[in-house]
Amino acid sequence: MSRAIARLAVVLVLLSSPAVARTLNVCADPNNLPFSNDRLQGFENKIVALLARDLGASVKYVWWAQRRGFARNTLKAGKCDLWPGVAVGIETMATTRPYYRSTYVFVTRRDHDLGIASFDDPRLRRLKIGVQMVGNDAMNTPPAHALARRGMTDNIRGYMLYGDYRNPNPPSEIVNAVARGDVDVGVVWGPLAGYFAKRSRVPLMLTPVEPESDGPQWPMTFDIAMGVRRSDSDLKREIDRALVENRPAIDRILAAYGVPVPKMDGGFSAGG
């Protein structure tokens, strides 16, 4: 009888003990809308919250400016376990299944009615073009290389991909420049263009860059996933499953933020 009572006591203790809370440690930039910020206003913040809920976890952010060395100082340093918004196949980490696909776009003012869709459009040679730059030519953005290959340098104005971090949403300056008329056309990564174009007081038009690749080396369209350490295969499997099960909700978030994504007919939707 005493043994039975002892076993019952153990069971009661276990049942009354609180479950160990799970935490999803996420690497993110605190000043990088539309992707993320420390007020959790970015679409990556919203998607991470969905996945964490699915996993029964709370979210803890490790904030770090998304500059060179971001992965080294966060994910690889073991300070966090998940990095949203990385291109599929990046060599320095394992990537989950993609949860969206987007493209570089030409951003123009609607009242100019340019409708430029290709780097081979002859009008580009006489227009002022804004292009996102990284700063080191060997590591520059695909549109910057595409324009340089065509000898278009005199009419180019570079806007740093990282921007002036003292200001809110630093990469938005290239979209603002199109709205102000500082440049006639901007070549901008789709999610950034879609978000800030929707919020512009001046109506803007987004036209996906065609074709999807400027030769074999410079794709203009990318599948976007989440990054984990190569050793975190269990977490990768969990995130893959959660991405599939939350697909409709993720699509609604992307649409709300104006992210240009492929449609079934081969065109693109810039979200509602």
Residue at 55: amino acid letter:
L
Q: Which of the residue ranges 13-27, 35-49, 117-131 would you say has the lowest mean pLDDT?
A: 13-27
Once rounded to an integer, what is the mean pLDDT over residues 250-255? 97
Q: Which of the residue ranges 160-169, 232-241, 249-258 would you say has the lowest mean pLDDT?
A: 160-169
Q: What is the mean pLDDT of the chain?
A: 89
Instruction: Say if residue 10's pLDDT is above 80.
Output: no
Residues contacting residue 63 through CB under 8 Å, at least 6 positions apart: 28, 29, 30, 38
pLDDT, residue 14, reads 41
Mean pLDDT comparison of 68-82, 101-115, 209-223, highest-scoring range: 101-115
pLDDT, residue 245, reads 97
Nearest to 57 by CA among 232, 191, 239, 227: 239
Instruction: Say if residue 38's pLDDT is above 90.
Output: yes
Exposure of 123 in the CB half-sphere (CA atoms within 13 A): 11
CA distance linking residue 114 with residue 96, whole number of Å: 38
Nearest to 204 by CA among 267, 149, 258, 147: 258
Angle between helix 190-198 and helix 173-180 axes, rounded to 10 deg: 50
Instruction: Say if residue 9's pLDDT is above 50.
Output: no
* CA torsion angle 49 54 60 64 (round to 10): -60
**Domains of the chain, earliest start first:** 21-100+222-262 (3.40.190.10), 103-208 (3.40.190.10)
pLDDT, residue 94, reads 96
Beta strands in the chain (DSSP E): 22-28, 31-32, 36-37, 57-63, 83-87, 94-95, 100-109, 129-133, 156-160, 185-189, 204-208, 221-228, 261-262, 268-269
Any long-range contacts for 89-94 (C-beta under 8 Å, 24+ apart)?
Answer: 90/227, 93/227, 93/228, 93/229, 93/230, 94/227, 94/228, 94/229, 94/230, 94/232, 94/233, 94/236
How far are the Cα atoms of 11, 85, 219 from residue 259, in angstroms, in the given order? 51, 13, 18
pLDDT, residue 230, reads 94
pLDDT, residue 3, reads 53
Going by pLDDT thresholds of 50, 70 and 90, the confidence category of residue 8 is very low
pLDDT, residue 268, reads 59
